[in-house]
Structure 1
Amino acid sequence: MKRPRFLPDNLTLMLLTVILTASFFPCTGQVAVAFDWLTTLMIGLLFFMHGAKLSREAVIAGASHWRLHLTVLLFTFAIFPLLGLLLKPALLLIITPDLYLGILFLCVLPSTVQSSIAFTAVARGNVPAAICSASASNLLGIFLTPVLVGMIVVAHGAGHSSLDSILKIVYQLLVPFVAGQIVRPWIAPWIERHKDVLKMVDQSSILLVVYVAFSEAVEQGLWKQLPLYMLVSLIGISAVMLAIIMALATYSSRRFGFNKEDEITVVFCGSKKSLASGVPMAKVLFASQSVGMVLLPLMLFHQLQLMVCAVMAQKYASRKGT
């Protein structure tokens, strides 16, 4: 397996390009309306493909290791959000309320799938358990993330009304996802043969949503409201949060008596957040004028988690023994 690099991944580079494009050439008027409709369709397609790709067998296969999976889910959907809430007094001293909402949104997202499994494999951890935990996190995230957004994010002042959010979640996320699961037995072989094409659909959906969101944010004066020191502060906040979560995950794994392979799985699956799920969810759950600000912390955290986990995976891999 190819080693993760301590460099920006291709998606991050494309995201930076899209943000620069939106900063200088934002879409406005009828073009923005057309792009907004297109993003809605792309999000539906994205979640349809998520449903079709997610193997129920992969989730069931490792379910017997329930203590490990419960630990990962607690970090993802309980400890991470609690950390975001506890840090609120300090964070609001250095960042705007909109960016803090982005931090809260980041905290309630599910874990990544591909990178969690890849880093676990490189680190010589429990790969079957990582597949199960990461898949279960993404499956539960379809339901839990909107609920947590309603409980702690919308309560802090942004996002759609509860009824509006529920309706959008149902027809833009859940219906396509369930449809994908239903037709999976018939299209799974086709999906396996066209993974590269489906990856392009995933990335294109993310890039389109980011372009539309940042176009709207630029029109609202994003860069006038966001000085350089605040961007640096966001990077520092992301680093602190990631360090706290990884330290807690390591400590908890050892206290619970997990072996080294299971510890690796908990650390990598429990500390990361999914950009692929977060971008379309933000488009559905938040008012359009706030999506750009909400997504900024997630995009910074995404790159930081890849860089840190690349180093951690190599450190774990270099340990003695099998």
Structure 2
Amino acid sequence: MAIIDVFLLALAATVALAALLPAHGHAAEMVSIAAKAAIALLFFLYGARLSPQQALHGVRQWRLHLLVLATTFVIFPLLGLAARALVPSVLTADLYTGVLFLCLVPSTVQSSIAFTSIARGHVSAAIVSASLSNILGVVLTPLLVVLLMDTSGASRVDGGAIRDIMMQLVLPFGLGQLMRPRIGGLITRYAALLKVVDRGSILLVVYTAFSMGMVEGIWASVDVGRLIVVSLVAAALLAAVLAITTVTGRLCRLDRGDAIVLLFCGSKKSLASGLPMALVFFPAATVGLTMLPLMLFHQIQLVVCALIASALARRADDTAVPTVGEGR
């Protein structure tokens, strides 16, 4: 095993590149298109690699999917409500609103699944859990916002989120399943290709997220001290959920592959889903500040979960024990 993980070096280089040369205008659009293309290719390869029996295994894991949904839409909101104790000594009222809002949005899809794949988890179960979280989040997040927060926006369900999931994730996966009899053996033989697409898609997502943060000026929207405080709160929130999902996986006696799904799908929050919803619910004058905690959390989770996924992958390689049902 290399002393320094090449993927972690690439991750650090990507963050530095986004800080020094963030994508603007047309370049940002091109990067976004490239990221979507990489993600679609990734899901096509997942579909070509997974046998129908493995895919069905992912669909049948209802206990796991309920645990992920409970973490996303019950545990997170409870932690967000508990953070009210930090006002006004640590957080301002507007920043607390942002912290609570980040706790109400659904999980990410692409990065959750890619991290699960990198860590040698159950990819098929991750696809179902993450997609289900986003689809239900279209309804549950507005409902939770109305119940738990004071906003000036009107509740609105956007069917575009479901369409995007179907077109970008489900359709490529289905095409991969259809092509599996012809190219499945080739994908298995050249497994390094899936690894490259796995990690390449994560690097593109990281670059896109950090570029957005630089272009939107989130680092300058509050003073340095307050920015550090919000970052620490976001990091503590992520650490708490990572600990909860880890302990829950052990108490529920999940096997390694399912425990990894719970860890990554349960601990994430989607910036892509959160931004459009925030524009609906919050006044234009304060929406930037309200979104700051979610933007910071999103970037922290990418870096932290990349480190965890890489460590889990090294541990799996060292022990040479294949994941149940989907050993790689």
Q: Same fold (TM over 0.5)?
A: yes
Q: 1:115 to 1:220 in 2, by over 3 A?
A: closer
User: Which range is displaced more, 299-308 or 47-56?
Assistant: 299-308
C-alpha contact (below 8 Å) 2:135/2:162 kept by paired residues: no
Amino acid at match of 1:237: L
TM-aligned CA deviation for residue 97 of structure 1: 4.9
Match of 2:46 in 1: 50
Match of 1:90 in 2: 82
In the alignment, structure 1 residue 139 sits paired with structure 2 residue 127: yes
1:150 maps to which of 109, 123, 138: 138
Aligned equivalents of 2:118 and 2:198: distance in 1? 15
Cα distance change on mapping 1:223 and 1:12 into 2, 3 Å: farther
1:218 corresponds to: 214
- Tell me the residue number matched to 2:195: 199
- 2:24 equivalent among 8, 25, 28: 28
Separation in structure 2 between the aligned mates of residue 96 and residue 243 of structure 1, nearest angstrom:
22
User: 2:322 — aligned with what?
Assistant: none
Distance in 1 of aligned mates of 2:67 and 2:308: 15
TM-score (norm 1): 0.68
Q: Corresponding residue for 2:302?
A: 299
Moved more, 193-202 or 135-144: 135-144
Unmatched segments (≥5 aa) in structure 1: 118-130, 254-261, 314-322
Gaps of 5+ in 2: 146-150, 280-287, 317-328
Tell me the residue number matched to 1:270. 262
Going from structure 1 to structure 2, the CA distance change for 1:28 and 1:236 (only over 3 Å counts) comes to same
Q: State the match for 2:205 in structure 1.
A: 209
* 1:124 match: none
Deviations 1:225-251 (Å, cap 9, x if unpaired)?
A: 471232222222222222223333333
* Cα pair 2:76 2:104 within 8 Å, conserved: yes
Paired position in structure 1 for 2:229: 229
Aligned-partner residue type, residue 249 of structure 2: A
Per-residue Cα deviation, 1:150-188 (whole angstroms, up to 9, x for no partner): 133455499x96122222222222221211111111110
Relative distance call for 1:292 and 1:241 in structure 2 (3 A) is closer
What does 1:274-293 align with in structure 2 at a 5 Å threshold? 283=272, 287=276, 292-293=295-296
CA 1:302–1:9: 2 relative to 1, 3 Å? farther
- 1:267, CA displacement in angstroms? 4.5
Alpha-carbon contact 2:119-2:309 (below 8 Å) kept: no
Tell me the CA shift for residue 23 of structure 1. 1.4
Question: Structure 2 length as normaliser, TM-score?
Answer: 0.67
Contact 1:108 1:149 in 2 (8 A): no
Shift of 1:17: 2.3
Identify the residue that residue 241 of structure 2 maps to in structure 1.
241
Q: Find the aligned partners of 1:264 and 1:165 in 2 and give their Cα distance.
A: 31
CA contact (8 A) 1:19 1:214 kept: yes
The answer to which of 137-146 and 181-190 deviates more is 137-146
Partner residue of 1:317? none
Equivalent in the alignment of 1:18: 14
Identity %: 22
RMSD of equivalent CA atoms: 4.2
Amino acid at match of 1:200: V
Q: How much does 1:99 deviate?
A: 5.7
Distance 1:232 1:70 in 2: 34
Which residue does the alignment assign to 1:319?
A: none
Give 1:299's aligned amino acid.
L
Partner of 1:162: 158
Residue aligning to 1:179: 175
Aligned to 1:251: 251
Q: Structure 1: how far apart are the matches of 2:166 and 2:274? A: 11
Q: Deviations over 1:232-276 (max 9, x none)?
A: 2222222222222333333344xxxxxxxx56666554333389x
Gap change, CA 1:191 and 1:229, over 3 Å in 2: same
For the residues of structure 1 that align with 2:100 and 2:306, how far apart are their CA atoms? 18
Q: By how many angstroms is 1:294 displaced?
A: 6.1
TM-superposed CA distance for 1:194, in Å, is 1.5
Q: Larger deviation: 106-115 or 202-211?
A: 106-115
What is residue 285 of structure 2 aligned with on the other side? none
Distance 2:11 2:266 in 1: 15
Distance in 1 between the 2:307 and 2:215 partners?
Answer: 28
Aligned equivalents of 2:178, 2:266: Cα separation in 1: 24
8 Å CA contact retained: 1:23, 1:214: yes
Query: Match of 1:77, as an amino acid?
Result: L
